[in-house]
Amino acid sequence: MTPGVTVRTLPDTLMLAEVAADWLDSRIARRPDLTVLVATGQTPMGMYGRLAARVRASTLDCSGVTAVQLDEYAGLPDGDPRSLRDWMMRSFVTPLGIHKVVPLDDPATFTAQVEALGGLDVAILGLGPNGHLGFNEPPCGPDAPTRTVTLTPESLLSNRSYWNGLNVPMQAVTAGMDVILGARETLLLVSGAHKRGILSAALDGPETPAVPASYLRRTALTVFADREARP
Ligand code: F6R
């Protein structure tokens, strides 16, 4: 896939979810054994719900897909309700009937595991309020490896909305920028007026470690944004 950026503004989050589901659906139709890096967070949940409905209606078969975990808080005990892996399992892997999962357990072996699969076909990503991808917090260059990071105040604040009063862990393990930018295609989903400035910085500004998402323009990138994020 040749690098190139496609940006599409959708009227609302419902349309964004539908169009994003169509996008992944068409990739799985072409390649049933697709390897997909999977973001959690709020933005892709509508898309995942649409895909799950198609699987239930037997119009989509994801049984050959491999899901690769994008990030996880560090140091959580098993069964902790804040696990991003559990969120990925209940929002994406289980409802889509996916059997193969590459967890992000050990940063030292993760890249080799992804390479052994032949690399990522697709990375599904949300945009952090500070321009992070996964938990690649700024400043962060394109070669940053899979590693443990300390979360920035912006990320701690935005992640608080996920956990209903529970604390957000201060550290996380993230797939590196090297892994994310190595995907043959990247899909960035963005919604809400609070993301407008950072999306513009990522798409219209210079490539800079201050906005890790600005490096996505090196990839075959599709951006679906609602009208509030990209008027
Ligand atoms: C989640 C993740 C994060 C989010 C980003 C946007 O696995 O890696 O980078 O994608 O923080 O989050 P939402 O979609 O909740 O605004």
Is it the case that residue 143 has pLDDT exceeding 80?
yes
Residue tagged 């609302």 (tokens): 12
Please tell me the predicted confidence (pLDDT) of residue 3. 76
Closest CA to 144 of 99, 103, 176, 180: 176
Known catalytic membership, residue 105: no
Are the beta carbons of 203 and 217 closer than 8 angstroms?
yes
Please tell me the predicted confidence (pLDDT) of residue 159. 97
Mean predicted confidence (pLDDT) in 74-88: 96
**What pTM did the predictor assign?**
0.98
For residue 63, give both structure tokens: 């049984």
Three-state SS annotation for the chain? CCCEEEEEEECCHHHHHHHHHHHHHHHHHHCCCCEEEECCCCCCHHHHHHHHHHHHCCCCCCCCCEEEECEEECCCCCCCCCCHHHHHHHHHHCCCCCCEEECCCCHHHHHHHHHHCCCCCEEEEECCCCCCECCECCCCCCCCCCEEEECCHHHHHHHHCCCCCCCCCCEEEECCHHHHHCCCEEEEEECCHHHHHHHHHHHHCCCECCEHHHHHHHCEEEEEEECCCCC
Amino acid identity of 147?
A: R
43 lines ligand 1 (CB under 6 A): yes
Mean predicted confidence (pLDDT) in 25-32: 98
Closest CA to 186 of 211, 159, 207, 215: 215
User: Can you say whether the dihedral through the CA atoms of 220, 196, 93, 173 is positive or negative?
Assistant: positive
Return the percentage of the chain with pLDDT > 70, whole number.
Answer: 99
Known catalytic membership, residue 99: no
Is it the case that residue 19 has pLDDT exceeding 80?
yes
Distance, CA 113 to ligand 1 centroid (Å)? 23
From the CA of 39, give the closest atom in ligand 1. 7
Measure the CA angle with vertex 78, ends 77 and 81; round to 5°: 85
From the CA of 126, give the closest atom in ligand 1. 10
Mean predicted confidence (pLDDT) in 36-41: 98
Q: Which of 137, 159, 185, 226 is catalytic?
A: 137
Amino acid identity of 197?
A: G
Query: Which of 125, 161, 179 is the best mutation target for the ligand 1 pocket, counting ligand atoms within 8 Å of the beta carbon and taking the most?
Result: 125
Are the beta carbons of 230 and 204 closer than 8 angstroms?
no
- Listed in sequence order, the residues at least 6 apart from 39 whose beta carbon sits closer than 8 Å to its beta carbon are 70, 71, 124, 125, 126, 134, 189
**pLDDT tier at 2, thresholds 50, 70, 90:** low
User: 178-224, pLDDT tens digit by residue?
Assistant: 999 999 999 999 999 999 999 999 999 999 999 999 999 999 999 99
Closest CA to 137 of 109, 159, 113: 159
From the CA of 41, give the closest atom in ligand 1. 15
How far apart are alpha carbons 198 and 220 in whole angstroms?
Answer: 20
Mean pLDDT value across the chain: 97
**Which domains, from first to last, does the chain contain?**
6-226 (3.40.50.1360)
128 lines ligand 1 (CB under 6 A): yes
**pLDDT tier at 1, thresholds 50, 70, 90:** low
